[in-house]
């Protein structure tokens, strides 16, 4: 009788311990996202301590990630995304290119997570830069520079990339970034990506991206009545769209009297103002027509080829100072 009671008691205690362990396992899995087997092993090695188990999982992921990263380092990364972020005052911005091997991974949630970490770190870096006197700060970062930046949890971006490689089993590289700061200069920044980011993230991403540095004219007499037809933000986004679609090489010179070449008009009319998909064949359209003018202000406006970008800028009281254009995988 005593032996039976002891046996029943032992079964009860064992069942209670398993329930507790299972609850810890589910909690650790939900919090970290790591596989059940890894979470179970972590709890076993750390006396069911959630805090110690989570730390162990992160260290293990980092170790395995670096091993995987070294193994895949020579694989080509021709796919990826362009992402950008702008602060609430439209005075600080960054644009980054993060590459991977396949388009499938470029749409992966885990890949987008590391893109957000990179973009956030670059925006923080841009905020630390000081705008030049009567001008703005523009810093271009290469792959090596990016890998050394600090990201979330105090880890370098190189560490974050290594963990991502370990999770995805595919090579991931940080190619480049541009950081802009226009604080205390009276200048602002607008940005656009194509196609638009469908994930709902605060960081906009696509295959193409552009940032535009501009100044609004305060003298209302210089601003044409056309400026009442659309908001400045709408026109600025259209100018960013122009940079993506027409790929100007420089800002150019404001010369609103210069006639527009007929071949430029024909090429530009192929784009639809209300359809972002009109940008999908950018390379094909550009190969069909060579522009005499590479300056943005001299080009026919993408969404209205009857006028130049310079005329649009004048009508809406906008001075264009500079722009940045990224195309994923461009050489």
Whether residues 187 and 203 fall in one domain: yes
CATH of the domain at 32: 1.10.8.10
Q: What is the pLDDT of residue 7?
A: 42
Element (H, E) at 184: none
CATH of the domain at 156: 3.30.479.20
Could you read off the pLDDT tens digit of each residue along the chain, which spans 331 residues? 444 444 444 444 344 454 557 777 787 777 766 667 777 777 787 778 888 777 766 777 677 777 778 888 899 999 999 999 999 999 999 999 999 999 999 999 999 999 999 999 999 999 999 877 778 999 999 999 999 999 988 889 999 999 999 889 999 999 999 999 999 999 999 999 998 765 556 778 899 999 999 998 765 555 555 555 567 889 999 999 999 999 999 999 876 554 444 333 333 333 443 455 555 555 544 444 444 468 999 999 999 999 999 999 998 999 999 999 999 999 7
pTM, two decimals, is 0.74
Whether residues 178 and 305 fall in one domain: yes
Q: Give the CA-trace dihedral at 93, 99, 104, 106, to 10 degrees.
A: -10
Residue 248 three-state SS: coil
Q: Could you tell me if residue 134 is inside a domain?
A: yes
Whether residues 63 and 89 fall in one domain: no
Whether residues 66 and 198 fall in one domain: no
Q: What is the pLDDT of residue 126?
A: 96
Q: Which domain holds residue 320?
A: 79-255+296-327
User: Closest Cα to residue 307, out of 216, 192, 232, 224?
Assistant: 224
Q: What is the pLDDT of residue 69?
A: 82
Residue 287 three-state SS: helix
Q: Are 142 and 136 in contact (CB under 8 A)?
A: no
Q: Are 164 and 111 in contact (CB under 8 A)?
A: yes
Q: What is the pLDDT of residue 146?
A: 96
Q: What is the pLDDT of residue 205?
A: 86
Whether residues 173 and 318 fall in one domain: yes
């Amino acid at each position: 009788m005593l032996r039976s009671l002891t046996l029943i008691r032992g079964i009860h205690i064992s069942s209670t311990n398993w329930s507790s362990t299972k609850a810890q396992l589910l909690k650790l899995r939900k919090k970290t996202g790591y596989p059940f087997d890894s979470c179970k092993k972590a709890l076993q090695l750390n006396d069911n301590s959630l805090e110690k188990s989570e730390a162990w999982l992160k260290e293990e992921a980092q170790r395995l990630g670096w091993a995987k990263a070294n193994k895949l380092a020579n694989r080509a990364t021709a796919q990826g995304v362009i992402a950008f972020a702008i602060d609430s005052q439209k005075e600080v911005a960054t644009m980054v290119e993060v590459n991977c091997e396949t388009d499938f991974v470029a749409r992966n949630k885990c890949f987008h997570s590391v893109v957000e970490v990179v973009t956030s770190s670059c925006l923080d870096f841009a905020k630390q830069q000081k705008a030049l006197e009567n001008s703005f700060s523009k810093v271009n970062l290469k792959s090596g520079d990016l890998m050394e930046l600090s990201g979330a949890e105090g880890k370098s971006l190189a560490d974050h990339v290594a963990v991502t490689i370990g999770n995805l089993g595919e090579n991931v590289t940080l190619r480049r970034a541009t950081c802009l700061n226009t604080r205390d200069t009276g200048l602002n920044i607008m940005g656009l990506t194509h196609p638009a980011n469908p994930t709902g993230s605060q960081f906009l991403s696509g295959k193409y991206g552009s940032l535009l540095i501009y100044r609004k004219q305060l003298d209302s007499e210089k601003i044409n009545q056309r400026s009442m037809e659309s908001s400045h933000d709408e026109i600025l986004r259209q100018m960013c769209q122009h940079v993506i679609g027409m790929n100007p090489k420089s800002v150019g010179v404001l010369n609103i009297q210069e006639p527009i070449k007929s071949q430029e008009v024909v090429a530009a009319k192929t784009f639809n103002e209300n359809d972002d998909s009109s940008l999908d064949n950018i390379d094909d359209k550009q190969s069909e027509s060579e522009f005499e003018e590479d300056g943005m202000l001299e080009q026919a406006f993408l969404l209205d080829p009857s006028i130049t970008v310079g005329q649009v800028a004048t009508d809406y009281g906008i001075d264009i100072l500079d722009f940045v254009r990224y195309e994923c995988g461009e050489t």
